[in-house]
Amino acid sequence: MEFFPISIFQLLFTSILSVIVTGLICVHIWLKSTVGKFYSNERMDGKTVLITGGNNGIGLETIRDLARRGARIIMASRKIDLGNQVRDSIMKETGNGNIIVKKLDLSSQKSVREFADEILRTEKKIDVLIHNAGCASTSNKKKSVDGIEMTYATNHYGPFLLTHLLIDLLKKSAPCRIIIISSAYYKIANVDLSNLNPLDTFPFFLYYVTKTANVMFGLELAKRLKDTKISVLIVNPGMTNTDIFKKVPFPLNLAVKHSFKNAWEGAQTTIMTAVSKKLDGVTGKYYSDCRQEELKSFVKNEVKNKIFWEESVKMCRLRHSDPTI
């Protein structure tokens, strides 16, 4: 019998591969064992839900579920043709004909204002506003039409402006809910108050930063609306296989494909916070896997959150004639 010697390189490669495989298996087991599911059969008849970014992923599954529960749904979509296709498919699937598609590009302040004006003209109430839309770029540095870094413009400033413009209608609709989709990734990022338009920062890391911004926005919003009957709930969908991760390189793409939640699983906490009567009157809380979770202390700094809010007002060019919160 002939034996072939194993080189140090082969041994090292095998060891690294074993660590990666073991790590992926552990991630898979942990993620699948912690998935939260919302089993309630509560209805949403007579409720109007406005959701941004519902053409695919978590937003699509959220719309599908709420449509089954009888909600009237306004889909705010950047790609209007795709939005219409999704609407027609869900209407056929659920039998719910009360689904409307309206044009909205959250990265454009002009588009946000035009969308808000149309909602204020045509809608009598909004029972649930879901800030679901988001974007992430791996490396391409882009600016919005307003000269704002694209990830920040879409993930924070757009929802911030839209909330302000719709706040009077929301107050008239109370009790109602505002749901802000964030991420557990807020734990690894920090908002730099000295650079709130970071055009030279690595774009994909800015996705994490904007998830921190979402939490800061939600906490300050809840604080400012504490004397109203508008609840503000912040949601972590968990690590979900959506378009945001479609360009993740090997071997991380294996973890995304085989271990991350699918879109239905990722939508469960959003659905719970939109539907559950148990959350009536609850505000300023963060939910993950259908359970309330404590936020890290650094993101609950009220002084910093207030400053961030005030600077966001400037970035969104809010006018004296605009509603204030």
Q: Tell me if residue 310 falls in helix, strand or coil.
A: helix
Q: Give the range of the structural domain holding residue 260, as residue numbers without chain letter.
A: 43-315
Residue among 6, 3, 94 at smallest CA distance from 44: 94
pLDDT for the residue 284: 98
Q: Are residues 41 and 271 in contact, defined by beta-carbon separation less than 8 angstroms?
A: no
Look up the pTM and report it. Answer: 0.87
Residue among 125, 286, 144 at smallest CA distance from 203: 144
Q: Considering the domain boundaries, does residue 108 fall inside one? A: yes
Confidence check: pLDDT of 181 > 80:
yes
What tens digit of pLDDT does each residue of 10-49 get?
667 677 767 766 666 666 666 666 678 999 999 999 999 9
Output 301 or 2, whichever has higher pLDDT: 301
Range of weakest confidence among 75-79, 140-144, 316-320: 140-144
Which residues make Cβ contacts (< 8 Å) with residue 18, sequence separation at least 6?
none
Question: Which CATH number does the domain housing residue 131 bear?
Answer: 3.40.50.720
Which residues make Cβ contacts (< 8 Å) with residue 244, sequence separation at least 6?
57, 134, 135, 136, 207
What tens digit of pLDDT does each residue of 264-307 get?
999 999 999 999 999 999 999 999 999 999 999 999 999 999 99
Query: Roughly what angle, to the nearest 10 degrees, separates helices 80-94 and 57-68?
Result: 40
Q: Considering the domain boundaries, does residue 20 fall inside one? A: no
- Residue 141 banded pLDDT, cuts 50, 70, 90: confident
Q: Considering the domain boundaries, does residue 13 fall inside one? A: no
Structure tokens at 100: 């409307």
Q: Considering the domain boundaries, does residue 4 fall inside one? A: no
Confidence check: pLDDT of 254 > 50:
no
Output 256 or 184, whichever has higher pLDDT: 184
Q: Are residues 247 and 241 in contact, defined by beta-carbon separation less than 8 angstroms?
A: no
Q: Considering the domain boundaries, does residue 292 fall inside one? A: yes
pLDDT for the residue 28: 60
- Number of structural domains (the chain) is 1
Q: Considering the domain boundaries, does residue 18 fall inside one? A: no
Q: Considering the domain boundaries, does residue 32 fall inside one? A: no
Catalytic residues: 207
pLDDT for the residue 246: 52
Confidence check: pLDDT of 249 > 50:
no
Q: Considering the domain boundaries, does residue 323 fall inside one? A: no
